[in-house]
Amino acid sequence: MAEGEGRGVGKVILLGEHAVVHGVPALAVGIDRGADARATLLEGDGPSELAIGDWSARADDGTELGQAFAALLSATQTEKRVRVAARTDLLPSAGLGCSAALGVAITRSLLALRGIDEGPASVASRALAWEAIFHGNPSGIDTAIAARGGCLFYQRREGAPLVEGVTIGAKLTLAIGYTGIPASTRTMVEAVARLREQKPEMVQKAFSGIEALVRNARLALEAGDVVGLGRLLDFGQMLLSGLLVSTEEIETLCRLAREAGALGAKLTGGGGGGCVLALVEGSAEPVIEAWAREGFEGFAATIEPESARQKEAR
Ligand code: PMV
């Protein structure tokens, strides 16, 4: 039986979320969690089908999931009737790129079913059709990192985005903590756009500050300066709070992480809930334990310089 498989990786945004929607560069790293999909041909007539765990849709059912699936079938020029089964170990609506990892995995499985193996840039661009249904105005950073992994410097531009692999000079150890509150990226992105209309100067100043942090963080990453990177993450959190995308739970997770010895901590992704990342030197356990004592779930992610380079070369 003809079948195609595909994978997309989860991510955290180190710096630049929200500003990246408006053309400011951002830095993201892939993590060891993600999504897998398998596409098979279906006999007979009827719509194509998608199942993600126990969440399912048909391409013609008019649901958000059904519409996103239909958009991917069209973006991959899949004309035959198919069934795609996908799964993910990423928390949904948490800023870890769950929907982009699924979109990339499904895109790759549909292309593989037709014997096509494309590079990350075109896979990411096809998968944007899926993200646009869920997110409204995606910058494209989530699908870029989901398709490529490693560490990326990303800037939205007219035509094609600027996507550059960043060579990391030292291993990064992150503790990733969940506020327990799912948040809609679309709602948060719309809130920042409204704030930008109401207070253009204030938001522009925040975006300029974020851009400076992103450019300095790239240098710190390349130099393996994790202490410097930690400070930049803390500044990033301050600027995101100023854009009103932080919450009490996010601030609590950041404070607990810093008290437990983290070099820096900030929200990652859309905010309004979702996840916080903390950069640590040595083990992530003290931070994860401090969160657990207050009832917050967390896990560790490490990014090896070598793995970042290899993935980037794909
Ligand atoms: O999908 P999330 O929650 O990881 O957020 C992605 C980052 C944003 O900058 C908030 C949105 C975007 O499209 O870049």
Query: Cβ distance 73 to 48 under 8 Å?
Result: yes
| pLDDT for position 307 | 56
pLDDT digits (tens, 9 = 90+) for 162-215: 999 999 999 999 999 999 999 999 999 999 999 999 999 999 999 999 999 999
How far is C-alpha 208 from the chain's CA centre?
A: 22
Q: Range of 82's domain? A: 3-165
The answer to whether residues 7 and 77 belong to one domain is yes
- Return the ligand 1 atom nearest residue 16 CA: 9
The answer to whether residues 79 and 161 belong to one domain is yes
> What does residue 40 show for φ and ψ, rounded to 5 degrees?
-130, 155
Separation between Cα atoms, residue 257 and residue 194, nearest integer Å = 31
The answer to whether residues 24 and 141 belong to one domain is yes
Q: Hey, whose CA ends up nearest to atom 14 of ligand 1?
A: 139
Q: Hey, whose CA ends up nearest to atom 10 of ligand 1?
A: 270
Q: Hey, whose CA ends up nearest to atom 5 of ligand 1?
A: 269
| pLDDT for position 54 | 87
- Return the ligand 1 atom nearest residue 96 CA: 4
The answer to whether residues 8 and 40 belong to one domain is yes
Could you report how far apart the first and last alpha carbons of the chain are, in Å? Answer: 28
What is the distance in A from the centroid of ligand 1 to the CA of 184? 10
| pLDDT for position 305 | 87
| pLDDT for position 1 | 59
The answer to whether residues 7 and 128 belong to one domain is yes
| pLDDT for position 112 | 98
pLDDT digits (tens, 9 = 90+) for 281-299: 999 999 999 999 999 999 9
**pLDDT over 60 at 313, yes or no:** no
Residue 137's pLDDT band (cuts 50, 70, 90)? confident
The answer to whether residues 100 and 26 belong to one domain is yes
| pLDDT for position 314 | 44
| pLDDT for position 186 | 92
Q: Which residue has the higher pLDDT, 137 or 110?
A: 110
* H/E run at residue 91: none
Number of domains in the chain: 2
**In the predicted model, what is the mean pLDDT of residues 111-135?**
95
Long-range contacts of 251-257 (CB under 8 A, 24+ apart): 252/294, 253/177, 253/179, 253/278, 253/291, 253/296, 254/278, 256/287, 256/290, 256/291, 256/294, 256/296, 257/175, 257/177, 257/287, 257/290, 257/291
Using the structure block, give the residue that is written with the tokens 């992994």.
149
Q: Which of 45, 61, 89, 142 is flagged as catalytic?
A: 142
Query: Cβ distance 43 to 82 under 8 Å?
Result: no
- Return the ligand 1 atom nearest residue 138 CA: 13
Query: What CATH number corresponds to the domain at position 225?
Result: 3.30.70.890
The answer to whether residues 183 and 111 belong to one domain is no
**Which of 165, 196, 217 is the last residue before a domain boundary?**
165
Residue 127's pLDDT band (cuts 50, 70, 90)? very high
pLDDT digits (tens, 9 = 90+) for 69-87: 999 999 999 999 999 999 9
**pLDDT over 90 at 108, yes or no:** yes
The answer to whether residues 85 and 184 belong to one domain is no
**Which of 165, 182, 199 is the last residue before a domain boundary?**
165
pLDDT digits (tens, 9 = 90+) for 235-276: 999 999 999 999 999 999 999 999 999 999 999 999 999 999
pLDDT over 70 for what percent of the chain?
A: 97
The answer to whether residues 141 and 237 belong to one domain is no
**Which of 147, 165, 183 is the last residue before a domain boundary?**
165
Q: Measuring from each residue's beta carbon to the nearest atom of ligand 1, which residues come in under 6 Å?
A: 13, 17-18, 20-21, 95, 97, 135, 138-139, 141-142, 185, 189, 269-270
pTM: 0.94
Alpha helices in the chain (DSSP H): 64-75, 98-113, 120-135, 141-148, 185-198, 200-223, 226-242, 248-259, 285-293, 305-312
Neighbours of 115 (CB within 10 A): 8
**Catalytic residue check, 89:** no
What is the distance in A from the centroid of ligand 1 to the CA of 21? 8
**In the predicted model, what is the mean pLDDT of residues 104-112?**
98
